[in-house]
Amino acid sequence: MTVPLALEPAGTGWQLELRGDWSLAAMPQIEAQLESLPRALRGPVLCDWSHAAAPGIAPAWALLRRLSDAGLPAAEISHSGSPPHFLELLQKLELDLLRPSGPQVAPLKLEGPIAKLGRWSVLQGRHARGVLEFLGRIAAVIGQAFRRPRALRISSLARHVYETGITAIPIVSLIAFLISVIVAYIGAQQLSRFGADIFVVDLVTIAVLREMGVLLTAIIVAGRSGSAFAAEIGVMQLNEETDALRAMGMNPIEMLVVPRVLALIIVLPLLTVIADAMGLAGGGLLSLIDLNIPLPQFTYRLRESLSPTTFWSGLIKAPVFAALIAMVGTYRGMQVRDSARELGRLTTAAVVQSIFLVILADALFAVLFQKINF
C-alpha cells in the first residue's frame, strides 16, 4: 500500500508529495500520516497533488489544518499538479476560522458537597412547587366544573375510560387469575402439611380482596396507561400542540390532564372488582383441582372468612392509586421539553414513580387500616 504523503526538502523549503487514495475513505491512514509530520515547519511548502487519486474534501481540509497548525502562514503554502477544485474554497474558510489563542484552560471547579447539597435542595424545592402548582391547576378545573359542566369534557373522558379501562380487562383478568392460582398453590403446599388445606380459601380470599387485586391492577395500569399518558402529552409538548391549545384560549390541564385523571379514577375501581372476581375464581379452581375442595364448600368458607370490611378495604384504595398514577403520568408528560430523549426519560420516570407511589400509599393504608381496625 502506498503511503499517502512524503515530505522532502526542496530548495529553501519543502515539497509535500500526496500519493494514492486521498478520498474520505482513506481518511484514517491520511490522518495517521499527517500526525507524523513535524510539529513545526519553516519555509515554503509546495503540495504536489499530481499523484493523489480522487481527493476528498475532508482529507484536503485535514491537510490544510495540519499545515497551519505547524505554524505556516497561508502565503507560504502553494499547490501544484491539478489540486482539487474545492481547494480555494477550503483555503478561504480556513483563513476565516479564528483559532483559539493558546490551549483552553477549563475553569477550576471548587464545588464542595455543601454547594451540591444546596443546589440539590433548591432543585427539589422547585420540583415540589411545580407539583403543588400542578395539583392546584387540576383542583381549579374540577372546581370550575361545578359551575360549568362542559369543563369536564365528557367525550374525551369517555375515550379515556375506554382506552384505559375496557381494553385493559383481558390483561388484568388474566394476570389476576394466574397470580392467585400461584398464591393458592404455594399456600396449599404449606398448609396441607398441617392438614389445614381449607385455610387456603381464607388465604386467597383475604390476600386477593385486601391487597393483591387492587395492587396488581394498579401496577398493570401504571405500566399501560401511565406511560401512555406521559408519552401522548409529551409528544404534544414537542409538537407545540399544548402551546397551540393555550394560544386558542383552551386550558391544556382541562383538555388533557383532567379527563385522564378522572377516567382513571372511574376505571381503576371497576378493574379492581374484575381482578378480585378473577382472583377468587383462580383460587376456587386451584382448590377444586389441587385440594379437592368442591365449589359449594369453597364459597361457604369464603363467606365465613370475610369480614364486612375486607372487600371495601381493598376497593377504597383504588381511586387513590388511580389519581396517583394519572397525575404522575400527565405531570411528567407536561414536563417534556426539546428532545426525544427527554420524552423517553420522563416516560420511564412516570412509570417508575407511579409504581413506587402506589406501593408507598399501599403501605400507608395498611398501617392506617390496622390502627382503625378496618
Quote the cell numbers at residue 82: 491539478
Kindly identify the residues of this chain, within the stretch 301-360, that bind another protein according to CB under 8 A. Answer: 337-342
96 binds another protein (CB under 8 A): yes
Residue (230 or 358) nearer to another protein, CB: 230
8 binds another protein (CB under 8 A): no
Residue (95 or 368) nearer to another protein, CB: 95
Kindly identify the residues of this chain, within the stretch 257-276, that bind another protein according to CB under 8 A. Answer: none
To another protein, the closest distance from the beta carbon of 76 in angstroms equals 21
To another protein, the closest distance from the beta carbon of 61 in angstroms equals 5
Quote the cell numbers at residue 141: 378545573
Q: What is the DSSP string of 273-289?
A: HHHHHHHHHHHHHHHHH
To another protein, the closest distance from the beta carbon of 43 in angstroms equals 25
To another protein, the closest distance from the beta carbon of 228 in angstroms equals 21
List for the chain the helix, strand, coil content (%; round to 5).
75, 5, 20
175 binds another protein (CB under 8 A): no
Residues near 217 by Cβ (< 8 Å), separated by ≥ 6?
172, 176, 268, 271, 272, 275, 318
Residue (86 or 374) nearer to another protein, CB: 86
Query: Which residue in 322, 224, 215, 321 sits closest to 265, CA to CA?
Result: 322
Q: Are 365 and 248 in contact (CB under 8 A)?
A: no
Quote the cell numbers at residue 100: 483559539
How many residues form the binding site for another protein (CB under 8 A)? 26
25 binds another protein (CB under 8 A): yes
107 binds another protein (CB under 8 A): no
Kindly identify the residues of this chain, within the stretch 46-85, that bind another protein according to CB under 8 A. Answer: 56-58, 61-62, 65, 85
134 binds another protein (CB under 8 A): no
Using the rule CB under 8 A, which residue among 52, 67, 90, 263 binds another protein? 90
To another protein, the closest distance from the beta carbon of 110 in angstroms equals 24
Among 25-33, 225-233, 249-257, 316-324, the segment contacting another protein (CB under 8 A): 25-33
Residue (8 or 338) nearer to another protein, CB: 338
Q: How many CB atoms lie within 10 A of CB 320?
A: 19
Which amino acid, one-letter code, is at 201?
V
Alpha helices in 165-309 (DSSP H): 169-191, 199-206, 213-221, 227-238, 241-247, 252, 258-291, 295-305
Cα separation, 334 vs 337, whole angstroms? 8
Residue (238 or 266) nearer to another protein, CB: 238
Cα separation, 95 vs 91, whole angstroms? 6
Write out the residues near another protein by the rule CB under 8 A: 24-25, 27-28, 31, 56-58, 61-62, 65, 85-86, 88-90, 93, 96-98, 337-342
